[in-house]
Amino acid sequence: MNILVIGSGGREHALCLKLYESDNSNNIYCNPGNPGIQQIAQNVQFDVNNEDLLISFCKDEKIKLVVVGPEQPLAMGIADKLRQNGINCFGPSEYASQLESSKSFAKEFMDEFNIPTASYKTFESKDLSDCFRYIENSDLPIVIKADGLAGGKGVYISNDKNEAKQIAEDFFEGKFGEASKKIVIEQFLDGVEASIFAICDGENFILLPPSQDYKRAKDGDLGLNTGGMGSFSPTPFVDYKILEDVKTKIVSQVLKGMKSRKNRFIGCLFVGIMIVNNKPFVIEFNVRFGDPETQSVLSLIEGDLAKLFYTASIGSLEKNCISIKKDKYACTVILASEGYPENFNKGFEIKGLQNNSSLKDRFIFHAGTKIENNKIVNSGGRVLGITAVANSLKEAKENAYNLAEGIDFENKYYRRDIADSAIK
């Protein structure tokens, strides 16, 4: 079957690679793609939010399945448009995507379906005095979240009530535009975080190996929040019992809840959990794969991902299309542009990519790269994701770092401590 993947990052490169390796895939197109993806798929460029262009492309190229990487097109209803036109989509409806695009929607949904999460309250700008009173009466630290999509930057944790009030006011005044006109203030949960992906067909699901990402820019979890500086999988902090809780108390409840609301959840449900006293609490839902967790998680998978996604998209998930590599570990190190997530320079040639293109169990996933004068240069904050798979996490880390050191561009920056929290 012909497949269209939407997106341009390392996550989409990893998705395209596994789809390319699937028995059930023929032509793979990626919109807009990147220079790494171009080696295994055909990059195409049109506005995916334009329904006419999207549907005519899918019809012309006989696309049987669309796989959506990022959240924005899902929040804008791409899956609904495709399904209305008879095209299968691995991704949830606009309604179900609110689990990610509106924190207040997600919190109310969790309340209704008894899904474990932090206690919370929602406020709008007209509630400023109530909000301030609530902050006054809260324990520290205080967690303040913009309701809408804020590119992963809409969460602040404050240890000072005056600062928390200022943050709330800035949010109401539109720090993140419409996304922060409503806010959620929630109880701080102290524990270990993990990311768990559930592949869902609306009724049934399978979990992929649990992973962890590193959001801060600098070693020791210091510095600014980023899109993610590295990941590893599986994480030893998620044991069998926690996974059972995630299945029965979280994912099953989401599927049941969405079904009862006539919006069966089809796609990847990303459950971000905090483990407190050996129990999982939902910190966030995303309605798509995580980046850079996907680069690690998919590297541990064998089999026919195309068939898995296709059967999910038509509501009859065939779980045994894939298997998890036994006793293997994956580690992904992000090579970023120095200065990310703030200002950084671009356009530097990336050297050392060719020497490494055929290594076994090592992968170079492109993200912020482009071709300029026949050379591959950095064009974004997160440039490459270097992934290695090995028999232990320690070895996976060493192999990823060895490969990372052999790739060079002028302002290359990376964390040195990815996976250390689990190796020690």
- CB of 188 vs ligand AMP, minimal distance in Å: 4
226 forms part of the interface with ligand GLY (CB under 6 A): no
Candidates 352, 359, 331, 348; CA nearest to 415 is: 331
293 forms part of the interface with ligand GLY (CB under 6 A): yes
* DSSP track, 89-127: EES--TTTTHHHH-HHHHHHHHHHTT--B--EEEEEGGG
Out of ligand GLY, ligand AMP, none, which partner does residue 118 contact, by CB within 5 to 8 A per kind? ligand AMP
Cβ neighbours of residue 18 closer than 8 Å, sequence gap 6 or more: 298, 301, 305
CB contact at 8 A, 202 and 266:
yes
User: 65 - beta bridge partners?
Assistant: 3, 88
User: 88 - beta bridge partners?
Assistant: 65
The site map against ligand AMP for 206-245 (x = CB under 6 A) is ---------x------------------------------
Q: Among 96, 106, 198, 283, which residue sits at the site for ligand AMP (rule: CB under 6 A)?
A: 283
Computed from CA positions of residues 172, 175, 180, 184, in that sequence, does the dihedral angle turn out positive or negative?
Answer: negative
Q: Among 25, 104, 180, 286, which residue sits at the site for ligand GLY (rule: CB under 6 A)?
A: 286
Helix (H) or strand (E) holding 157: strand 155-158
The site map against ligand AMP for 391-410 (x = CB under 6 A) is --------------------
Strand segments (E) across 202-339 = 205-207, 212-213, 216-218, 222-225, 230-233, 266-276, 279-286, 301-303, 322-324, 329-337
Part of the chain binding ligand AMP (CB under 6 A), chosen from 2-10, 126-134, 188-196, 248-256: 188-196
Q: Which of residues 138-167 bind ligand GLY (CB under 6 A)?
A: 152
Specify the pairing of strand 369-372 against strand 2-7. Answer: unpaired
Q: How far apart are the first and last CA of the chain?
A: 45
Specify the pairing of strand 2-7 against strand 63-68. Answer: parallel
290 forms part of the interface with ligand AMP (CB under 6 A): no
Q: Among 143, 200, 334, 364, which residue sits at the site for ligand AMP (rule: CB under 6 A)?
A: 143
User: Is 46 strand, coil or helix?
Assistant: coil
- CB of 372 vs ligand AMP, minimal distance in Å: 34
- CB of 184 vs ligand AMP, minimal distance in Å: 9
By beta-carbon proximity to ligand AMP, the closer residue of 51 and 193 is: 193
CA distances in angstroms from 213 to 123, 130, 280, listed in the order given: 30, 35, 17
CA dihedral 412, 417, 419, 424 (to 10 degrees): 160
332 forms part of the interface with ligand GLY (CB under 6 A): no
Q: Among 12, 147, 284, 291, which residue sits at the site for ligand AMP (rule: CB under 6 A)?
A: 284
By beta-carbon proximity to ligand AMP, the closer residue of 282 and 384 is: 282
Part of the chain binding ligand GLY (CB under 6 A), chosen from 89-97, 166-174, 286-294, 296-304: 286-294
Separation between Cα atoms, residue 270 and residue 207, nearest integer Å: 10
Specify the pairing of strand 28-32 against strand 42-43. Answer: parallel
Q: Among 213, 298, 382, 396, which residue sits at the site for ligand GLY (rule: CB under 6 A)?
A: 213
293 forms part of the interface with ligand AMP (CB under 6 A): no
* DSSP track, 5-30: EEE-SHHHHHHHHHHHTSTT---EEE
* DSSP track, 317-338: --GGGEEEPTT-EEEEEEEEET
CB contact at 8 A, 369 and 409:
no
Part of the chain binding ligand GLY (CB under 6 A), chosen from 39-47, 174-182, 290-298, 353-361: 290-298
Out of ligand AMP, ligand GLY, none, which partner does residue 155 contact, by CB within 5 to 8 A per kind? ligand AMP
230 forms part of the interface with ligand GLY (CB under 6 A): no
* DSSP track, 395-424: HHHHHHHHHHHT-B-TTEE--S-TTHHHH-
144 forms part of the interface with ligand AMP (CB under 6 A): no
- CB of 288 vs ligand GLY, minimal distance in Å: 8
- CB of 256 vs ligand AMP, minimal distance in Å: 23
118 forms part of the interface with ligand AMP (CB under 6 A): yes
272 forms part of the interface with ligand AMP (CB under 6 A): yes
- Count of residues interacting with ligand GLY (CB under 6 A): 7
- CB of 153 vs ligand AMP, minimal distance in Å: 9
Q: Among 291, 311, 369, 383, which residue sits at the site for ligand GLY (rule: CB under 6 A)?
A: 291
Out of ligand GLY, ligand AMP, none, which partner does residue 291 contact, by CB within 5 to 8 A per kind? ligand GLY
12 forms part of the interface with ligand GLY (CB under 6 A): no
